[in-house]
Each structure stands twice: as C-alpha cells, then as structure tokens.
Amino acid sequence: MGEKLKIGITCYPTFGGSGVVATEIGMAMAQRGHRVHFICYDVPRRLNRFSQNIFFHEVEVHDNPLFDFPPYSLALSSKMVEVAQYEDLDIFHVHYAVPHATSAYLAKQILNAKAPKIITTLHGTDITLVGNERSYLPITRFSILESDGVTVPSHFLKNATYDKLNVPTATDIRIIPNFIDSEQFSPGDAESKEKFRQSLGHCPVKGRILVHVSNFRPVKRIDDVIRVFEKVTKQIDSHLVLVGDGPERSKIEALVRDLNLQNKVCFLGKQQLTQEIVRNCDLFLLPSSNESFGLAALEALSTGVPVIGSNAEGIPEVVKHAEVGYLADIGDVETMASYAVKLLSNHKEYDRMSKAAREYAIAEYSKDKLIDQYESYYYEILKEKA
Ligand code: GMT
C-alpha cells in the first residue's frame, strides 16, 4: 500500500447505519496508521473512546437574529476548509450527498488546487429524500457528479442512483457493501441469554425472543413488526424487544396497548451496544419499505440470529432467502409470521439457519475485507484524479 493518508470524514453522528459505517471506517483507517479527522456537528455515537490517529472537529452552527434557519451546510464547508488547510487533508470522505457532498464541493472551490479529493458514500436515504422532496434532485445529482469518487452499499442503490437521479451510467459508482466486526457481533451463549432475560426486569421473558432495531421512522414499518409478532405469539410463547427511538415510537406504543401486548413487548429505547441485546434474541424482524442495505439485519446475522423481513430494495442482497432468513412482500405480515412460526418451531432447522447466518456474514461481510476495498479505492481515486 502507498503512503499514509490524511482523511476527513463527515457523517450524521447518530445511531443510524450511515453514522455507524462512517465511524467504523474512520476507526479502522486510524488503526492502519492513517490520520482521520471527523468533521461533524457532534461526536459520532460509536466514536466512544480516545484512539491514536483520530481527531474530532466540531461544526458549530452559530445563530444570528437574521437567520430563520442557521446555515449548517455553510458552517460545515467553513470547517472543512479550515481542517483541510491546517491538516493538509488528502480526502474528504462524506456520507450522504446532501448536504455533506455539497458542502465538500463548496470547500473544494475555496481550497482550489490544494483541495482534497471528495469521496461520497450514498446510503439510500439520499434517494428517499429526493423521492419525498423533488426540489432536492438537482443538488443531489450535482453533488454526486462533482464528487471524485462515489460508493454505495448495494447493487440496488447503484441502479437507483442511475435511474432515480438520472446520473449517466458512464459514471463509475463503486459498490462497497456495509460490513460487520464479527468479534463484536458474535453469538450469545447460554449464560448471556439467561442474564439478558433477567435484565429485562418488568418484562419477565420466557419462550422465544423476537427483536427489531431501528430509528423508528415510517420506512421501517414497525406496525408490521407488531402485527407479525401478534400472530407469532398466539402460536409460540414469545416476547418482542424493540430497540431504538424516533417519530413512530408513540404510535407504536399505543398500538401495542390497543392489541393488549404490553406485557410481551419491551421498548428499550436507544442503546449503544445493540449486539449485547440482539445476540441474546432468536429472530430479527426487518419489514421495511425502504432499505438500501439493512446493516441492522447484517449485524443480527453475524450474531447467528436469522432475519425475517421484506424483500424491499437492498434487503435481498443481504438476507439470502431460505438460507439465512425469510423474506416476503412489503406488508405481507401473514407470510412473515408463518415463516417465523415455522422456523421457531423446528429446532433443527433453526440451528442450521443460525449457523449458516453467522458463517455467511463472516464470509461475505467481514470488516477487514471491506476496509481493504475502501482503502484501495482511496488510493485509486487519488491516483486517477491527481
Ligand atoms: O434507515 C436507517 O436505518 C438509517 C439510515 C442512515 O442514514 O443511517 O440507514 C441507511 O444507511 C445504512 C448504512 O448504509 C443502510 O444499512 C440502511 O439500509 C439505510 N437506510 C435506508 O435505506 C432506509
């Protein structure tokens, strides 16, 4: 490999998959000796410890009586310019076209010949955003076309970028799937499972445990999670654990009460170490209507937990139907529930699938392999666009 790089990373510093992927890439690059500068409005959730080669630069958005809306994108551009100049950055690796690639583009214009190369990683919600708000299309498209390199986590998202954003197919978009740290996301054992059940406290848990982790946005279709569980729990002694928080939370809590399931459903809210929960459960539910990849499902597979979900967008690329889980059409809660019951009632088949899930996650999505791809891509873009 070539010389050590100086990389600026910008992402949404939240619990969402894009923030997780961005942070894990940064931490892995730092371990490989590159200097990594996170340029974000807050410390990314997974960046929870001091590490050599990692630096954090806060984007402060100053208010002013003139501003109805403080200009985050401009504050980010200014910070990018400052960090690039002081730290002599080689690359801005931004996660999300809008506004991060747009801010990087502006920073590049200001920095001129000394500007770092821009690598934009799309995460899917860029496309959903344009679907919901068409006025963002020109700026999303422009920011993608002006990037020096573009990556996506799935074939689905590559095709959607060409189709929905009308990006010319001659534009190279590199597929680098999301990845897992299989040591962190390892299966639970009998002891951890027992401890977990007891720790659920007011929700004493017997039987099987179904789990869902998300940001509780409408695209996750958490009402389908509840409907699937309602059917499963009628046939199999089971509980449902919900991890995360977001705009749908109140509605879902109300639905759980309406269906009289409150003693069987545990809302755990936002959690830092989801692996400590998911590895102690039996089945992961992901019935989303939109999912460019489905990192949460991959993390479940890595812990040996099969996934039942929808066959939307990028999910079938990650969850191989009948091999590591089962997929049905969006909203088909009947079929999802029958797959869940079938799997949970056949211990031999469950054990086979659980083992296959873990093996598949390690073989296809190991962190080292995919970080190698990002690192090679960095060098490729620096060489190509020199
Ligand atoms: O929808 C989420 O879970 C959050 C969102 C985000 O912005 O972090 O996730 C997107 O990026 C993840 C990482 O690439 C993907 O695994 C998710 O599938 C994707 N979400 C959607 O496409 C809706």
pLDDT in tens, 103-117: 999 999 999 988 999
Residue 295 Cβ inside 6 Å of ligand 1? The answer reads: yes
Lowest mean pLDDT among 49-58, 93-102, 190-199, 200-209: 200-209
Q: Is the pLDDT of residue 132 over 80?
A: no
Q: Give 127's pLDDT tier (boundaries 50, 70, 90).
A: confident
Can you read off the two tokens belonging to residue 130? 């344009």
Q: Read off the pLDDT of residues 160-216 as tens digits, 9 standing for 90 and up.
A: 999 999 999 999 999 999 999 999 999 999 999 999 998 886 666 779 999 999 999
Q: Any residues with CB less than 8 A from the CB of 151 and at least 6 apart, and which?
A: 119, 120, 121, 122, 173, 174, 175, 176, 374, 377
Among protein residues, the one with the nearest Cα to ligand 1's atom 7 is 18
Whole-number Å distance between alpha carbons of 141 and 366: 31
Q: Is the pLDDT of residue 343 over 90?
A: yes
The percentage of residues in the chain with a pLDDT greater than 90, rounded to a whole number, is 88
pLDDT of residue 200: 83
Q: Is the pLDDT of residue 75 over 90?
A: yes
- The stretch 17-38 carries a mean pLDDT of 96
Q: Any residues with CB less than 8 A from the CB of 67 and at least 6 apart, and which?
A: none
- The stretch 66-74 carries a mean pLDDT of 89
Q: Give 46's pLDDT tier (boundaries 50, 70, 90).
A: confident
- The stretch 46-56 carries a mean pLDDT of 86
- The stretch 225-236 carries a mean pLDDT of 98
pLDDT of residue 202: 60
The percentage of residues in the chain with a pLDDT greater than 70, rounded to a whole number, is 98
Whole-number Å distance between alpha carbons of 295 and 205: 26
CA-to-CA separations, 210 to 37, 50, 231, in angstroms, rounded = 38, 35, 12
Q: Give 64's pLDDT tier (boundaries 50, 70, 90).
A: confident
First to last CA, the chain: 17
- The domains located in the chain, with CATH, are 6-177+366-384 (3.40.50.2000), 190-365 (3.40.50.2000)
Whole-number Å distance between alpha carbons of 275 and 301: 11
Among protein residues, the one with the nearest Cα to ligand 1's atom 20 is 291
Whole-number Å distance between alpha carbons of 224 and 382: 45
Residue 188 Cβ inside 6 Å of ligand 1? The answer reads: no
Q: How far is the CA of 290 from the centre of ligand 1 (A)?
A: 9
Can you read off the two tokens belonging to residue 154? 């799935």
Q: Give 51's pLDDT tier (boundaries 50, 70, 90).
A: confident
Of 64 and 348, more confident: 348
Q: Read off the pLDDT of residues 290-335 as tens digits, 9 standing for 90 and up.
A: 999 999 999 999 999 999 999 999 999 999 999 999 999 999 999 9
298: nearest Cα among 358, 371, 373:
358
Output the CA torsion sign for 139, 174, 13, 296: positive
* 93, 154, 288, 293, best to mutate for ligand 1 pocket (most atoms within 8 Å of CB): 293
pLDDT of residue 149: 98
Q: Is the pLDDT of residue 124 over 80?
A: yes
Q: What share of the chain is helix, strand, coil (3-state, %, to 5)?
A: 45, 15, 35
Residue 293 Cβ inside 6 Å of ligand 1? The answer reads: yes
Q: What is the pTM of this model?
A: 0.95
Residue with tokens 């199999």: 236
Residue 156 Cβ inside 6 Å of ligand 1? The answer reads: no
- The stretch 94-110 carries a mean pLDDT of 97
pLDDT of residue 72: 95
pLDDT of residue 59: 96
Mean pLDDT estimate for the chain: 95
